Amino acid sequence: MIKNVLITGADGQVGSELRELIENEKYQLLDVNFYFTTRKILDITHQKSVENFIQENKIDTIINCAAYTAVDEAEKQEAMANKVNKEAVEVLADIATKNNIFLLHLSTDYVFGGDHYAPFNEDEPTNPQGVYAYSKLAGEEAIQKSVPRHALIIRTSWIYSEFGHNFLHTMLKLGHSKNEISVVCDQIGTPTYARDLAATILTILQQHKQKLPEGVHVYHYSNEGSCSWYDFAQAIFEIAHLSCKVQPIYTDEYPTLAKRPHYSVLNKKKIKEAYGIEIPYWRDSLEKCIQRVDKENKRHKIGIIGSGFIATGLANQLMQNPEYEVAGILTRTDINARKDFLQNKLLTNSLDDLIATSDLIVECSGDAIYATETIDRILKANIPVVTMNSEFHVTTGSYFVDKGLITEAEGDQPGVLAILHEEAIDMGFKPVVYANIKGFLNENPSREDMEYWGARSNLSLEMVTSFTDGTKVQIEQTLVANGFGADIIKESLVKLENDDMLEGGTLLAQEAKAAGISGAVSDYLLSSKLPAGVFILAEHDQEQHDALKYYKLGDGPYYVLERTYHICHLEIIKTIKRVLHGGGVLLNNSQTPRFSVAAIAKRDLKVGESIIKAIGSFDVRGETVRIDEHLSHVPIGLLANATIKKEIKEGEIVTFDDVDLPKSLALSIWEQIISSR
């Protein structure tokens, strides 16, 4: 008799659909208690934890929806795939056998090799082709070997739903951002709407509520019909009214780490006869799912990376906006130890989970190396990225310009200058100087002073130090120069002391002309009297000068367009909206950057010393340099967990000959950027 049901993998596609159907009382199981668990709640690979949960809640039925489903990643993460798909199932099967528990387990069509072209029956020989497929078959075999008294194995195929990360969501995102894509046309299977499968599982529970099935039974379930991935993509675009064109290609034109079966259509006759169910045609179910997605998409799901000041403020703002939902907040800290974070329940340590639940992700960690790793995976999942992380852009951002939609956000100075730039160009102005305004500069501040100002400003020691020693503004203006194709008057920038934007901007423009620069330049003014913000010094056509004078912009030839505020986390939402509504990139580092931010020693650095993180340290500061004149310099964003191997004098540029750096994707990308010059 079914009374207490454990559902594992409750945050996955089938688990989420089960929860929704049950909570909305779509099925008459009102006297049954359901326990929805995720890996955060219950580690099903840990036998003692599962046994305790079973005993405490008197579980008599387990529906195992948990699975490692990253087919290609499994080729690199074999141990993890086996842990979830095999070892966890061994635990559940063993406990089910010992406690006379009904176990319903989900498996996959990939257990078949796809070497014939008729729908597979349940008893046909299996022939898995990759790590994922082998691990799923091993899970089935674990159940068969354990011989629980009551067990069902349901193989399914090509799962999609409005929840999680799947082919449907990938195609919808591509359909909104691309004019044409290519999809394989020689792999044949059947899409399965997770909601239909969840409904079938609940029908099975209803029918076995009083009498459980005897022995271990294998069934196949998918929607009716068959198609290729190309057909599936075409149908998605047709139903969603997207104009993106789909080009058919063969599997060997789209190589993947894992081999997929060419044919994996499942025969559903057995399950239909056993439970008297009718199965919808795949395209009919797809239409229903897309209707639900359209309804759900009225609220965009935004993921956040970082859990500091910017992330906290952004999360608070998004939660107050009816158009958005915070999908999760990725942090590297111990979630259980975080008592300072208002949205603690949204914190996660899993990038995979964040990717699976987000329509767009905001990266604001301030860490170039970490951001490189996360953004690489996010863009590969076809999810757009908005950053408030100029450190990332000037370090490795250029590599990602053509890898997907990634842009710096409005709110920090570079993003605000980008908005001013767009407005200036639209109004016919010609930018001459892109200028930041900085109130104070001490290139080698003391730790004591920085600790005082950090505590007073409620900022981290690293952050207040990078502001004070000029590293932050050098990074920002380097991004601006690269992003707009501007020049610099001199390395390390002029950093002109002047309390008037027009006068100071004009002096910078004159210095640029004297240096033989014909285009715009990027720099900043140093002034304790000017408000925090940015401005553009610009020219306009002679025939507009009288009108501009009438509009109180002065006599010319130079005019100041200013924004004397930047409200970082409150303005990010404007760029989120821009991207989601097809507005495109606001600012990036360009594919061919001319400038970088080098690490300059603040003191003599001795052999054997370590630099844990350069930005905001008391070891080095950042200065803008011309890349082609300093090919061996270490970008300050890369200088982390480094060991000094050659003595470096105060004021010298740190080079790759001077330090040992740990291997990282960011380092590899920088080497590619340099080698291409």
Residue 572 near residue 409 (C-beta atoms within 8 A): yes
Catalytic residue among 35, 132, 230, 324: 132
Q: Name which of 244, 239, 245, 246 is nearest 284 in CA terms.
A: 239
Return the amino acid letter for 27. Answer: Y
Residue 294 near residue 239 (C-beta atoms within 8 A): no
Return the amino acid letter for 365. Answer: S
Q: How far apart are CA 339 and CA 341, in angstroms?
A: 6
Return the amino acid letter for 170. Answer: T
Residue 349 near residue 331 (C-beta atoms within 8 A): yes
What's the DSSP call for residue 266? B
Question: CB-hemisphere CA count at 13 Å for 231?
Answer: 13
Between the CA of residue 456 and those of 4, 356, 397, 464, 469, what are the distances in Å?
54, 39, 33, 10, 17
Quickly list DSSP for 480-545: HHHHHT-B-SSTT---EE-S-HHHHHHHHHHHHHHTT--S-EEEEEE-SSSPSEEEEEEE--GGGH
Q: Name which of 342, 385, 377 is nearest 361 in CA terms.
A: 385
Measured from the Cβ of residue 578, the count of other Cβ atoms closer than 10 Å reads 18
- Torsion angle of alpha carbons 110, 116, 122, 126, nearest 10°? -50
Residue 583 near residue 410 (C-beta atoms within 8 A): no
281 carries an active-site annotation: no
Residue 152 burial class via C-beta count within 10 angstroms: exposed 0-12, middle 13-18, buried 19 and up? buried
Between the CA of residue 271 and those of 60, 279, 568, what are the distances in Å?
23, 10, 56
Quickly list DSSP for 97-115: HHHT-EEEEEEEGGGS---
Buried b (16+ CB within 10 A) or exposed e, 65-77: bbbbbbbebbbeb
Q: How far apart are CA 567 and CA 413, in angstroms?
A: 9
Active site residues: 132
